Structure 1
Amino acid sequence: MSEPASVDASAAERSEGLEWAAQRGMGALAEKMGLRFTEFSVDRCVATMPVEGNTQPVGLMHGGAYVVLGESLGSMAANLHAGEHRLAVGVDINATHTRSATSGVVTGVCTPVHLGRSITVHEIVVSDDQGRRCSTIRITNMIKDR
């Protein structure tokens, strides 16, 4: 039995989104921190980042590293939504850290809260290897013409 067309379209969208993200690049900071996109579409973006190399002196994941992961996901998702001749730029970001990862990788899952013509809002939930929420980030991007 074949899968419904909507499932195939979603898989195609995710594949196209990953190709778009790879062509665009993540930026030098995200690359230095070891971000890796694993899923990328307008509706959901996922990336991982190693804890090692992104810690405070006491061995805990640095709060700013969570924010870099969140802003990278949210801004890239907003730019995918904006389209080819428009640019999304961050205008507000906040984060609440509720747990500290100490090893392994963290995973950020970015979902849209609002996708408008001029403003986007995304929530990024960052979890550790055991699936425990470590940080919740919310980013607002303004979309403008290039």
Structure 2
Amino acid sequence: MPERPVATEDALEWARARGIGALAQKMGFEWLEFTPDRAVARMPVEGNTQPVGLFHGGAYVVLGESLGSMHANYHAGPGRLAVGVDINATHTRSATSGYVTGVCTPLHLGRTLAVHEIVVSDDEGRRCSTVRITNHLKDLPVA
């Protein structure tokens, strides 16, 4: 795992180098911004829909969990790991085309817990889903 950078401008490269995992990659996850204060990414609606053509509710959660977990791991720092312990989502609109964009902001960044809110909007800036994730921060086992 790459070391966490100190400079804000290097945080996006840290996130890209760390990787997002096979599921998010398969769904078209794309980083737009990553700083110590927030993380932003998007996913295409096409290929991530329910049979009726709406963006799948689980896809909102994948986007939210990817953003929140990654930001929590950044906060955790070297030699530590963030693991999700709770996630919930409230869907308020359905995207049917284009992209959805998630903006992840920390609500709490502590020593053992990190809580993030991810607001997911469509291309017109309308909120489609609000995801909240709590991650437990722990030390990696010493080899």
TM-score by structure 2 length? 0.92
Aligned to 2:15: 21
Residue 130 of structure 2 corresponds to which residue in structure 1? 136
**2:86 partner amino acid:** D
Q: Does 1:69 align with 2:66?
A: no
RMSD of aligned alpha carbons: 0.6
Deviations 1:86-134 (A, max 9, x none): 0000000000000000000000000000000000000000000000000
Q: Secondary structure at the match of 1:138?
A: strand
**1:53 corresponds to:** 47
Partner of residue 36, structure 1: 30
Matched residue, 2:98: 104
1:42, distance to aligned residue in structure 2 (A): 2.1
* Matched residue SS, 2:53: coil
Range with bigger deviation, 38-47 or 54-63: 38-47
CA distance in 2, matches of 1:78, 1:100: 27
1:73-93: per-residue Cα shift (whole Å, max 9, x none)?
000000000001100000000
TM-score (norm 1): 0.91
Q: CA deviation at 1:28?
A: 0.2
Match of 1:115 among 109, 112, 116: 109
Separation in 2 of the partners of 1:42 and 1:94? 23
Aligned residue type for 2:16? A
SS in 1 for 2:50: coil
* Structure 2 residues without counterparts, runs of 5 or longer: 1-6
Structure 1: state its 5+ residue gaps: 1-11
| Structure 1 residue ranges, 4+ long, deviating more than 2 angstroms after superposition | none
Percent identity reads: 77
